[in-house]
Amino acid sequence: STQQRPVIMLSIRVLLLFIQFSLHGLISPSLCSSGSTAVGSSTNNNNNSYRSITELDQYGSSPQINNARLASTLHGTLTLAAISIPSNEILVLSIERKLPGVIISPNKGKVHIIAQECGTKVNAVVGSGLNSDITYIVLLLRKHASSLWERYDSIPSLDRVAMSATQVMLCFMGYNIQDEINDGVPSILSDNSREGGGGDDTISIGRPLACNLLCTEVGNGEICDMKLVDPGGVISESVVGRAIGRGSEKANSLLREKWRGDLCREDLKDVCIEILRETVKEEGLLSENDSEKASIVYEVLSKERLSVQRLPFIQRVEPS
């Protein structure tokens, strides 16, 4: 214990000098608080690591919606839709890869009919992105169209389909629409599947839907109409042609150059096929091996019916 006394006395003297220098300002305050600062910064980093799905960034944009837009493009099949004014039809062409072990129905394509009225009017959507998200929103749109038919004996208009799709796209933000004035038709977000539910419950979606939707309408005596709804719920103006999915930027540029209002169905079909092949080649969307096996799904939507046809992606010249 006698040998430990000098050590204890030295420690006490060092502590007293430290206190004395601190009182005279000879030691930086940041040095004294370095430990607490480090702990505080660590705590702040931990707090900032969690971000709510509804949080907006400094530019007022939602990072979750931006990610959904990116995913819908990267994982979406290149799909091109254009209106043929002379025939009053909508042509939809898309790239289809042949996957091993997968059997695709010959009548299945990118066009999903939402509602049809006695061969005089039809509403449909064309989707590109995550297939599960497209299937889910198509199911909700058809259910909503059925509710409208039961109450008013009519199918929804193009604007109503687009607005309903927007409500589904923005459902993850948690907006409450139950107090809004409506026309008596249950909202597309109403959840009547629960036992004892009277329409007051709403469905909940945990993330944005990563898909682009082209809402289309073909009517009797009316020019076809088409509007785009993106993952952020933004509805575009009426368009006569649009490409969605991977490589859509290049395809839209070519479509603006080559589409004309006087193109009949066959001429517009040839133009769209040329745009698809050129885009795939320049963007490198298919390998040489995949190109040999790939097909072009050619769909024609009219007020009477939807026809689906598959064409070879590579044009083969028959020997003379």
Cβ burial, residue 185 (10 Å; 0-12/13-18/19+): middle
Q: Which residues contact 78 (CB under 8 A, 6 or more apart)?
A: 94, 95, 128, 243, 245, 246, 247, 248, 251, 276, 279, 280, 285
DSSP string, 219-242: ETTS--EEEEE-TT-PBPPP-SEE
What pLDDT digit, counting tens, does each position of 188-220 carry?
Answer: 988 765 554 445 578 888 889 999 999 999 986
Strands 121-129 and 241-244: unpaired
CA-based nearest residue to 304, from 172, 124, 129, 57: 124
Number of Cβ within 10 Å of residue 124's Cβ equals 25
* pTM of the predicted structure, to 2 decimals: 0.78
Least confident of 49-53, 133-137, 224-228: 49-53
26-30, 227-231, 246-250: the lowest-pLDDT one? 26-30
Quick one: what percent of the chain has pLDDT higher than 90? Answer: 54
| Radius of gyration in angstroms for the set of CA atoms belonging to the chain, rounded to a whole number | 30
Task: Decide: 226 and 90 in contact? Cβ < 8 Å.
Answer: yes
Determine whether 173 is exposed, middle or buried from the number of CB atoms within 10 Å of its CB (0-12, 13-18, 19+). middle
Residue pair 94/109 in contact (Cβ under 8 Å)? The answer is yes
The whole-number pLDDT of residue 84 equals 95
pLDDT above 90 for 141: yes
What are the two backbone dihedrals, phi and then psi, of residue 112, each rounded to the nearest 5 degrees? -120, 115
Which strands make up the sheet holding 295-301, listed edge to edge? 241-244, 79-84, 89-96, 295-301, 306-312
Is the pLDDT score of 30 beyond 70?
Answer: no
List b or e across 64-100, with b for residues whose CB sees 16 or more CB atoms inside 10 angstroms. Answer: bbeebbebbbebbbbbbbbbbeebbbbbbbbbbeeee
pLDDT digit string, tens, across residues 240-260: 999 999 999 999 999 999 999
Please report which confidence band the pLDDT of residue 28 belongs to, taking 50, 70 and 90 as the band edges: very low
Report the range of poorest mean pLDDT among 97-111, 124-138, 219-233, 299-313: 97-111
Angle at 203 between CA 126 and CA 56, to 5 degrees: 80
